[in-house]
A and B are shown apart, each in its own frame.
Chain A
Amino acid sequence: METFLRTWLEWPSVAAFIAKYTWVWPLGETFHFFGIILLIGGVGMFDLRLLGLAKQLPVAAVRRLLPWGVTGFLICVVTGLMFVTGVRANVPMSPYDVIKTNPWLQLKFLFIAFAGLNLLAFYLTGMDRAVDKLGPGDNAPMMAKVIAAASLFFWLGVIYFGRLIPEGL
């Protein structure tokens, strides 16, 4: 299994591309940040509305921002995969060893998984339909507020642990 993962995670062509073209890594970093901004502007904005910020906004309208948040997340996934699979361009370590030994990267993955499970809870508890009916000035149900607060906590955790990854290299 380890041999399979070591081989599968190592993308020499990505590392070589990053090493050859010095602008690739900063380009990826810049877009990773654009992705974070879109994520907070979309998903974070939705969470904040459920928590009572800008309460005069109808929730169904705020929901229109979620595709922007998903786009931001996808940009972060693509650029993040580039950082992991091409890590050897900057650090003499294999991606497998980085994932296995870096606690901050592991926590980041864990928090992304928690954010995903939290989103699942949002749909499974029927909160997605319940909040859609909320008009200007309406308060979200307590369950929706808890899920929104957890969502913000997990996504900020993802950003925080992402910033700590260099500490573990």
Chain B
Amino acid sequence: MQDFLESIENSGFSSYIRETPSVLGYSTVLALHTFGMAFLVGLSGVIALRVLGVVPELPLKPLKGLMPMIIIGFWLNAITGLILTSLAARSLLANWDFYVKLVAIAVAIVSLQKMRGYAFRDTSAPDDAPASAEARRWAKAMLFFWGLAVLGGRLTAYATYIRIQSAEAVAVAVILLLLLARYLVRRAHRSHVEARI
């Protein structure tokens, strides 16, 4: 297995991407990976925000139109992810953090599909109707696992003790920010309702 991974790492394509002094090699593949992440997670996150009722003004059904761009983001990430893995296959595949990232991506994709299925199922529902409890559950799962995938991706370059410390720091920061966001969203909704009365 190690020989096979080594042969992938030492292939002409992987060696070129890794070693070329041109910025069109490794850094550009990394940038394309970031573009894919931004569209995949950013736009699926928009659907999740509407499903969770954070942005109730957005009509639900037309958000289905974002799916083509989300799918482009996914494939861009998958292709560039494979290229990046081929550059350091042996060290990445011996890194438990890398598997956390892969599992998180797989669960986030399943959650996205489930959320989409439940959110867009009832074609006769009015645009301002709240999403079903199932759709909300999958939206929360998707956001959590996207967050975990991004965190896993960032931490692969660090030593184990730094990863653990960083993961704890991110968890604490995210919980504090979510509490703040929840307070702000609730306050905004209260003033919105009062303004309507």
Q: Which residues of A contact B (CB under 8 A)?
A: 21-24, 26-27, 29-31, 33-34, 36-42, 44-45, 48, 53-58, 60-62, 64-65, 68, 136, 156, 159-160, 163-164, 166-167
Could you mark each residue 147-166 of chain B with 1 if its beta carbon is under 8 Å from any beta carbon of chain A, else 0?
Answer: 10011011100100111011
Listed A/B pairs (29) with beta-carbon separation below 8 Å? A22-B161, A22-B162, A22-B166, A26-B154, A26-B162, A26-B163, A27-B166, A29-B154, A33-B150, A33-B153, A34-B150, A40-B38, A44-B39, A48-B66, A53-B69, A54-B63, A54-B65, A54-B66, A56-B62, A57-B63, A58-B59, A65-B46, A136-B59, A156-B35, A159-B34, A160-B28, A160-B31, A164-B27, A167-B23
Chain A residues within an 8 Å CB radius of B151: 30
Is B169 in contact with A23, judged by CB distance below 8 angstroms?
yes
Chain A residues within an 8 Å CB radius of B30: 163
Q: Which residues of B contact A (CB under 8 A)?
A: 23, 27-28, 30-31, 34-35, 37-39, 41-43, 45-46, 49, 55, 57-59, 61-66, 68-69, 146-147, 150-151, 153-155, 158, 161-163, 165-166, 168-170, 173
Is B31 in contact with A159, judged by CB distance below 8 angstroms?
yes
Is A41 in contact with B45, judged by CB distance below 8 angstroms?
yes
Checking A26, A30, A58, A65 against B55 with a beta-carbon cut-off of 8 angstroms, the contacting residue is: A65
Is A45 in contact with B42, judged by CB distance below 8 angstroms?
yes
Checking A24, A30, A58, A60 against B150 with a beta-carbon cut-off of 8 angstroms, the contacting residue is: A30
Q: How far is the CB of A112 from chain B (nearest CB, A)?
A: 16
Is B42 in contact with A40, judged by CB distance below 8 angstroms?
yes
Chain A residues within an 8 Å CB radius of B55: 64-65
Chain B residues within an 8 Å CB radius of A136: 59, 62
